[in-house]
Amino acid sequence: MAQLTSRIKEAREASLVLAALDTGTKNNALKAMAAALDGNRERILEANRKDVSAAEEMSRRGEMPASLVKRLKVDDEKISGMVAGIEDVTRLEDPVGETMSALKLDEGLTLYQVKCPIGMLGVIFESRPDVVPQILSLCLKSGNGVAFKGGSEASNSNRVLFDVLTEAAYSAGVPRGAFVLMETREDIGAILGMHGDIDLLIPRGSNEFVRYIQENTRIPVLGHSAGICHVYVDDEADMDIALAVTLDSKVQYPAVCNAAETLLVNSKIAGGFLPMMAKLFKESGVEMRVDARAKAFVPKDVAIVDAKDEDWDAEYNDMVISIAVVDSLDEAIGFINRHGSHHTDAIVTRDGGRQSEFVRRVDSADVFVNASTRFSDGFRYGKGAEVGISTNKVHSRGPVGMEGLMIYKYVLIGNGQVVKDYVGKDAKRFLHQRTDERYGG
Sites for a copy of itself among residues 297-326 (CB under 8 A): none
Q: Which is nearer to a copy of itself, 170 or 381 (CB)?
A: 381
| 3-class state of residue 354 by DSSP | helix
**Binds a copy of itself by CB under 8 A, chosen from 40, 90, 155, 372:** 372
Contact by Cβ (8 Å): 149, 20: no
Nearer to a copy of itself by Cβ, of 62 and 382: the residue is 382
Minimal distance, residue 351 CB to a copy of itself, in Å: 11
Burial of 74 (0-12, 13-18, 19+ CB in 10 A): buried
- The count of other CB atoms within 10 Å of the CB of residue 402 is 23
Q: Which of residues 96-135 bind a copy of itself (CB under 8 A)?
A: 97, 103, 105, 109, 111, 114, 116, 118-119
- Neighbouring CB atoms inside 10 A of 303's CB total 10
Kindly state whether residue 409 participates in binding a copy of itself, applying the rule CB under 8 A.
yes
Which of 310, 416, 425, 436 is close enough to bind a copy of itself by CB under 8 A?
Answer: 416
* Among 163-171, 203-211, 319-327, 410-418, the segment contacting a copy of itself (CB under 8 A): 410-418
Write each residue from 133 to 172 as x if it is in contact with a copy of itself (CB under 8 A), else as -, in one continuous string: ----------------------------------------
Strands in 287-290's sheet, in edge-to-edge order, are: 305-306, 287-290, 320-326, 260-266, 229-233, 344-348
Q: Which stretch in 66-74, 178-186, 246-254, 292-300 sits in contact with a copy of itself by CB under 8 A?
A: 246-254
Decide if residue 240 touches a copy of itself (CB under 8 A): yes
Residue 72 pairs in a beta bridge with none
Residues of span 2-41 touching a copy of itself by CB under 8 A: 16-17, 19-20
Q: State in angstroms the smallest separation of the CB of 141 from a copy of itself.
A: 16
- Closer CB to a copy of itself, residue 2 or residue 423? 423
Figure out which of the listed residues 274, 376, 388, 401 binds a copy of itself, where binding follows CB under 8 A.
376
Cβ(281)–Cβ(289) under 8 Å? no
Please write down the long-range contacts of 77-80, taking CB distance under 8 Å and 24 or more positions apart. 78/130, 79/37, 79/38, 79/41, 79/44, 79/45
- Which of the residues 173 through 232 are near a copy of itself (CB under 8 A)? 199-200, 214-215, 218, 220, 222
Helix locations, 296-328, DSSP H: none
Strand pairing category for 287-290 and 398-400: unpaired
Per CB under 8 A, the list member of 91, 356, 428, 437 interacting with a copy of itself is 356
Under rule CB under 8 A, residue 82 binds a copy of itself: no
Comparing CB distances to a copy of itself, the nearer of 56 and 351 is 351
Question: Which residues touch 440 (CB under 8 Å, ≥6 apart)?
Answer: none
Using CB under 8 A as the binding rule, whether residue 335 contacts a copy of itself is answered as: no
* 368 touching a copy of itself, by CB under 8 A: yes
Q: Minimum distance from CB of 414 to a copy of itself (Å)?
A: 3
Closest CA to 363 of 322, 394, 393, 395: 393
Q: Does 441 bind a copy of itself (CB under 8 A)?
A: yes
Q: In this complex, which beta carbon is closest to a copy of itself, that of residue 297 or of residue 368?
A: 368
Q: What is the distance between the alpha carbons of residues 392 and 440, in angstroms, rounded to a whole number? A: 33
> Among 327, 279, 328, 287, which residue's Cα sits nearest to residue 305?
287
